[in-house]
Amino acid sequence: MDTLLEINLQLFSVIGTIAFAISGAVVAMEEEYDILGVFVLALVTAFGGGVIRNLLIGVPVTTLWEQGMFLKTAVVSAFLVFLVPVSWILRWKTWESLFDAIGLAAFAIQGALYATKNGVPLSAVMVAAMMTGIGGGIIRDVLAGRKPLVLRDEIYAVWALLAGLMIGLGWFQGSWALLLLFALVVIMRMLSVTYKWRLPRRTIQLQQEPREPKSGV
């Protein structure tokens, strides 16, 4: 069972790393960053959520440097995106929501599995799933000077939370069950985008009263 868990962790880690590294690299080029900025945003997007998750569940952050294969995967993905023609990137932008959903699902499941492996409570498994899925995107948007889309866009983080809940409760175990959960999260995220499902929100707009002109002396 431990071997199967490790295989699942590796699979979803690779999928999420590629999807989010591409996302970070594209955002960097949209903001006209140089090649160093492209690599930085790609790596931050791919690994930022995992770093936050490790901090929350008490895993040393230095374990990041043991993930040599994933670091190389992210760097190669970003480099290829930097080299491909603009027309390809524009075509990818058409499918951006799908790749983003794939990254969210993969990292949410990976984060939940990682937390389960470390024997943390159910609440921590849910938070680990959510932060692994959305943490990198939040840091990416902040570094790019944007409002984090995951906090104001269509329903996003909720699907990661629910994935963590289902894994933490033991409802999805084994490769096929996890692949089914992966597909469900991707489908629900895409439905959110298609039909503009949003969580309740409340906007407060403070209107400043016009100042009276000062009378002359």
pLDDT in the model for residue 217: 46
b/e 76-100 (16+ beta carbons within 10 angstroms → b) = ebbbebbeeeeeebeebeeeebebb
Higher pLDDT, 185 or 89: 185
What is the model's pTM? 0.80
- Which two tokens mark 216? 């002359």
Angle between helices 96-117 and 86-94 (to 10 degrees): 70
Predicted confidence (pLDDT) at residue 26 exceeds the cutoff of 50: yes
pLDDT in the model for residue 156: 80
Predicted confidence (pLDDT) at residue 154 exceeds the cutoff of 70: no
Predicted confidence (pLDDT) at residue 213 exceeds the cutoff of 50: yes
* Closest C-alpha among 162, 154, 157 to residue 193: 154
Binning pLDDT at 50, 70 and 90, where does residue 55 land? confident
Binning pLDDT at 50, 70 and 90, where does residue 208 land? low
Task: Please tell me which of 6-10, 41-45, 212-216 the model is most confident about, judged by mean pLDDT.
Answer: 41-45
Predicted confidence (pLDDT) at residue 195 exceeds the cutoff of 80: yes
Rg from Cα positions in the chain: 20
